[in-house]
Amino acid sequence: MSRFAAIVLLGLGTSTAALAAPVPTEAFYGSYTAVTNTTGGGAPLINDGSGTYLPGNFSGTLTQGQTTPAQNFLLVSPTSGSGLVTGSILVDFSFTDALGSAVSAVSYTAGANAASLTGGKVAVSANYAINYASQTDCITWAGSCSPEATPGAIKTALSNTILVSFADGAALDVNLYNWSDWNMEPEISFEMVSGPTAAPCPVPEPASFALLATALAGLAFLKRYRFS
């Protein structure tokens, strides 16, 4: 290989490497509301989106396979009542990803409470039970729950994972955790399963343009060298 050809190939190879997009990170944006369907005496209060809990409007940036630390999601506070009170908490999520793509489908852990996509919102529910006599309670995202016999038995086991798929091919796991004990604080975490498959082409940086110009100039010089 001639010296000129080597220079050209080196320039082209370096330019291609510079033009290649780095391993992307993916941003996601969400919001949610939570209500209880239990009415009357004994229904708990729900504090969502304030204090140390997941904000009502939230966002994150993750690389593929990365999971956020679990954090407090809701505060479910017993009020006053007698006997056993049961019900459910209904949560509606809205999500978009970095490209502004909407959610196209959802799936959930086998055996867990169903998650559905309605009107662009991801809906999921948790069951709870409060025993005012023993001052014990529980919340779970998979099936029913029974309050502990004695207070103080906190559980944070992962109970349901909702796979949120976006129209551009990105996918996000929403991990929901159980809890038990007075003033329940179930947790939540997020994992970026995959980035978009319809991502826009990367815009070359100025240095990339310079390298490409060098390679093209080398090609032109080689052509003149061969035919001169």
Residue-wise pLDDT for 14-71, tens only, equals 444 445 555 567 899 999 999 999 877 888 999 887 778 999 999 999 999 999 999 9
The tokens for 58 are 């939230």
pLDDT at position 214: 57
- The band of 12, judged by pLDDT with boundaries at 50, 70 and 90, is very low
- pLDDT on residue 216: 52
Q: What is the percent of the chain with per-residue pLDDT over 70, rounded to a whole number?
A: 76
Residues 6+ apart with CB under 8 A from 132: 42, 78, 80, 81, 82, 83, 84, 85
Q: Is the pLDDT of residue 209 over 60?
A: no
Burial 75-107 (b: 16+ CB within 10 A, else e): bbebeebeebbbbbbebbbbbbbbbebebeebe
Residue 152's pLDDT band (cuts 50, 70, 90):
confident
- Which pTM does this prediction carry? 0.77
For the ranges 72-76, 112-116, 224-228, the lowest mean pLDDT is seen at 224-228
Output the average pLDDT for the chain. 81
Q: What Rg do the C-alpha atoms of the chain give, in angstroms?
A: 27
Q: Tell me the C-alpha distance between 147 and 180, whole Å.
A: 7
When pLDDT is cut at 50, 70 and 90, the band that residue 222 belongs to is: very low
Q: Using a CB cutoff of 8 Å and minimum separation of 24, what contacts does 144-150 make?
A: 144/86, 145/178, 145/180, 147/84, 147/180, 148/180, 148/181
User: Where does the pLDDT of residue 2 fall: very low under 50, low under 70, confident under 90, or very high at 90 and above?
Assistant: low
Distance between CA 35 and CA 2 in Å, rounded? 74
| Top-confidence residue, 40 or 176 | 176
Nearest partner of 130 among 169, 70, 79, judged by Cα: 79
CB 140 within 8 A of CB 126: yes
- pLDDT greater than 90 at residue 141: yes
- Indicate the angle between helix axes 206-227 and 3-19, nearest 10 degrees: 160
**Which amino acid, residue 144?**
S
**Percent residues over pLDDT 90 in the chain:** 54
Report whether pLDDT(9) > 70.
Answer: no
CA distance 154 to 73: 15
* pLDDT at site 110: 94
Quote the CA–CA distance of 70 and 88 in Å, as a whole number. 22
Kindly state the tokens that stand for 171: 């996918």
pLDDT for residue 218: 52
224 falls in which pLDDT band (50, 70, 90)?
A: low
